[in-house]
Structure 1
Amino acid sequence: MAVSGVAQTTGTEATAGSRTRLAENFDTFLTLLTTQLKNQDPLSPMDSTQFTQQMVQMTGVEQQLLTNDLLTKLVANSNSGISTAVSLIGKEVRAVTDTTAIKGGKAEWLYDLDRDAEEVKVEVIDAKGATVHSSTLSGEALKAGEHKFTWDGKDRSGQALPNGGAYKLRITTKDTAGEAVPTSIYVQGLVAGVEQSDGQTMLTINGARVPWDKVASIYQPEPPAQTGDAGGTETASGSDPEDTPINPAG
């Protein structure tokens, strides 16, 4: 059974909004204070004690918001599934992302067409936003359903790029009416590592870092093929591709 990724919700947006309002109020307060000090009557100067108290109060509120930020990150860490994510190391997962890395001289993506397409164009984009590969697909690659696209890791000049990096797949589709065909892009591979980055759990899949909450399915890798008595190779039939979904809690 496929296991969907866990969505996370925090109060980060509300805290950020509060901090923005505080910053605006604090800047306004300083502007008013400076203006009043510049235009005060030198023979009857204003008492600065009240202004000092207000500045102390504003600073205290700002420090409290920073503390709330730290607490929010701690809560996010505890709810981000880090313990569950660690248990995924060595498991096969599928994640909803268009980014992967070159591994073993190639990079692979899965894409799913909502319906038949008349034209499917794929582009591989590097971390700098440059297109390093583009091609137009044909035949079965235009049919509705799931397909695999494999890039040989070579740029437009035919030069092999080194393993690693971060490469995005961009797919442009059209049907017979010239309308775009809804398309989903995935990467699938073994989880090689787990790390925390700015309060977010990241998985290393095929050499690329993928957010934990992008995981759509978890699979138990199929054991290596066994050799039968007659010297043939036994493989499980009907598995696609060479995986069986599992429930990680089972």
Structure 2
Amino acid sequence: MVDAVTNNATARISSGSSMLASNFETFLSLLTAQLKNQDPLSPVDSNQFTAQLTQMAGVEQQLLTNDLLKGLLAAQQGSGLSGAANYIGRDATAVWSATKFTTEDKATWSYELATNAGTAKLQVLDGAGKVVWEGDAPDKTEGVHDFTWDGSSTTGAPAQDGKVYTLKVVAKTTSGQTVDAQVLTRGRIGGVEMYDGQPYLTIGNSILPLSSVIALEEAAQQNLNS
């Protein structure tokens, strides 16, 4: 998507530059012809001539601006993957709720509560948005908490290995007011991939956009040695 938008913008700039360049050449030709054929007894008004020169300078400035924009777009396209690669090996926290379930690693998320909650429910949803498991959150206090889903379901059908599931948290105070909450993905960044021109990071069984990352830290020593 991002790549398509960038390519479209580049094409529009190039098209605009060609039109401006053509108009610029035509303008110069007309101005030169006007100066050559003007009546010596009634020369072009100086104010009018100044205005024409100003228009010509404006067209030239627009051409330079278009060249600069194309350069910036090209640099943006080329730096996405290499820039994101600098994050490999670092511990990250992202606002992201989707992860792949495996029988070996299960499915792991974190959730954050803005304040202490009277009740807090967690829901695991499948790819169609259907709730396949629901239960009480293991911790209802303010802060970040971890949760691992073993694949069991309230419908009786076990989780499918390799399928993507998402987590949802619903929390309320003892008086029934909604508690602000969000689902997080935390872990060490193991790789970087590009999708539609946008860099995505691999954290455990999750692949998430770089834009979803809200915190980065140096990887813990024990993780680096493992």
Q: TM-score, normalised by structure 2?
A: 0.60
Q: Residues 160, 126 of structure 1: CA spacing in aligned structure 2 closer, same or farther, 3 A cutoff?
A: closer
Q: Return the alpha-carbon distance in structure 1 between the equivalents of residues 73 and 151 of structure 2.
A: 37
Q: C-alpha separation between the residues in 1 aligned to 2:218 and 2:85?
A: 15
Identify the residue that residue 95 of structure 1 maps to in structure 2.
94
- Asked whether the 8 Å contact 2:119–2:171 carries over to 1, the reply is yes
- Mapped contact 2:169–2:182 kept (Cα < 8 A): no
Q: Give, as a single letter, the amino acid of the residue that structure 2 aligns with 1:120.
A: A
Letter in 1 for 2:132: V
> Is residue 108 of structure 2 the alignment partner of residue 108 of structure 1?
yes
**Structure 1 residue 165, shift from structure 2 partner:** 2.7
Deviation at 1:115, TM superposition (A): 0.8
Residue equivalent to 2:43: none
CA separation of 1:72 and 1:177: change in aligned 2, threshold 3 A = farther
Instruction: Classify the secondary structure of the residue corresponding to 1:161.
Output: coil
User: Where in structure 2 are there 5+ consecutive unaligned residues?
Assistant: 13-69
Amino acid at match of 2:84: A
1:107/1:71 Cα in 2 relative to 1: closer, same or farther (>3 Å)? farther
Between the aligned partners of 1:199 and 1:132, the Cα distance in structure 2 is 33
SS in 1 for 2:87: coil
Q: Deviations over 1:175-210 (max 9, x none)?
A: 122111011221012222211111111111112210
Shift of 1:122: 0.7
**1:159 match:** 158
Q: 1:122 to 1:90 in 2, by over 3 A?
A: same
> 1:203 and 1:160 mapped to 2: Cα distance?
24
Pairing 1:189–2:187 present: yes
Task: Specify the alignment match of 1:214 in structure 2.
Answer: 212
* Cα distance change on mapping 1:133 and 1:204 into 2, 3 Å: same
Aligned pairs for 1:1-250 (under 5 A) are 74=74, 76-78=76-78, 80=80, 82-103=81-102, 104-137=104-137, 141-156=139-154, 157=156, 159-162=158-161, 164-224=162-222
Q: Is the helix fraction higher in 1 or 2?
A: 2
5+ long unaligned stretches in structure 1: 1-8, 20-69, 225-241, 244-250
* Matched residues, number: 161
- 1:71 deviation in Å? 9.1
Partner amino acid, structure 2, of 1:112: E
Residues in 2 aligned to 1:218 and 1:165: alpha-carbon distance in whole angstroms: 27
8 Å CA contact 1:154, 1:161 repeated in 2: no
Query: Does the Cα contact within 8 Å between 1:89 and 1:192 map onto a contact in 2?
Result: yes
Corresponding position of 1:27: none
Q: CA RMSD in A?
A: 3.3
Identity of aligned residues (%): 29
Structure label with greater radius of gyration: 2
Aligned equivalents of 2:90, 2:145: Cα separation in 1: 22
Assess, with a 3 A threshold, how the Cα gap between structure 1 residues 135 and 200 changes in structure 2: closer, same or farther.
Answer: same
Which amino acid counterpart does residue 133 of structure 1 have in structure 2? Answer: W
CA distance in 1, matches of 2:100, 2:74: 30
Deviation at 1:90, TM superposition (A): 2.9
Structure-2 change in CA distance of 1:116 and 1:196 (3 Å): same
Name the SS of the counterpart of 1:115 in structure 2: coil
Q: Is the 8 A contact 1:99 1:167 kept in 2?
A: yes
Taking structure 1 as the reference length, the TM-score comes to 0.55
Counterparts of 1:73 and 1:153, CA distance in 2: 45
